[in-house]
A and B are shown apart, each in its own frame.
Chain A
């Protein structure tokens, strides 16, 4: 009998262009809570998806009770006693608690001895039993859609328990729970530990890890850093281990000089209570303001709010000293604000249209003759200017944008916004999915724009990029701004400290 219920060793996984996991290991003891930690993109979720059979490993093996096993898909994982509660819960709201728990594996009975039928009585009595085990006392026949988020989560855990799981993966389980609900979750986890279940607990919240975790495995950039007893660790030590890497990217020298305040946001709050709230900040002429935070910090949502894509309840936006009102993207664009979105494919490029169509869409009124007719020559001139200025590699202006590389698509989109000659540029993850060479070119473009006196807000989840490019860094956590750090004083540690300041 092995001392581990499940071991993953030498796990590697390559996605096109990225080594997501590189020789990673994870060893789970029965009856222990094993915390898995790392920055955004460290490979935690990828590792869990390999364990749960969603991804296939390129190398490495999984042992259960010391015996090698292969896990082909989630059904396979479940049958071997591995269950996962996803960060985004996926219940069927219109069906009952019992039906959700036994979905796809309803207890059956034979009516008249031969007609197969669902045994509802057994299903609901079993559900009541399971709910008792997770200390929940609601009606098994209640519709899941009527439950609170924490109750839905308990249903998911009950479902995992019902599969007689031996390994339970909880991916950021407390991200949408209140303090009381977190306590309830911890009681369930304690019960499961007592029953000998190994729990993998993924979270960014240090205090939770130190309270409930028995062991901690830390990952960074797809690599295994080490495993420690939780009692040996402190918050500071975890952060140092999570981010402790050299700055590998090079950044262009910046010669911009921040001037007077051009853009100011006061007490900006979303209509969605879980999203951004009470955000205030100032942006200077020629300044690069970095925005840091973990996934779920609501940075993108905040920018979309400022750009008129999402609605806000309270808050004021001042632009060059005057209060402005933005209710749709066109309002923001007319004021001289531009936003490069994070999801280039979904909300940036218009794939089946040409480079010329894509680059001219926001500033088309400038190329109209007599107010109606598009002047092809002026558009062509715009394309050629940008191709030259930003070194865009495209066969012609008629080429469909989807056939360009990510870096060139991004340059076209930057060109789209610059054609409007904006004073404020919001760049949301401007180098995501772009190869290293093109990244440097994008950095140079950003640095040049700031030098020309444009004000730039840059969201980035890459710590080194944030530190390397920003004059000032605004850090967000859970919808709030938790701190500002001067670019020269920024370190991965102090950013991470602000980024994990949960209420």
Chain B
């Protein structure tokens, strides 16, 4: 557990929660990233503008963080090209089929005690843990 960072994790989590609360209170929309992105594939007329604005905010966040003097965390990805593509397809397709991801189900849905979101979160946590177990400890990927 030498990498455990409870303080920055909690602070970042509070910011994510504040973002979801802000979006809901101001616009009435759920801060579910897969829904916001998926709603643009293809874009629908009335909802495209705010979704795009939200995504631009997310994309700009690292630049803003660095401009304010913050040190961006390093990003390390070991996955090979085929694994990256399969994983991306599964995440994109799965979040649309299951109508949400870590933010929409995990943060927003659990926050309002939605049975669907609680179930979805338990399922994706479980399959993710099993996937990591198999890739790291069984086949040693």
Does A pair with B? no
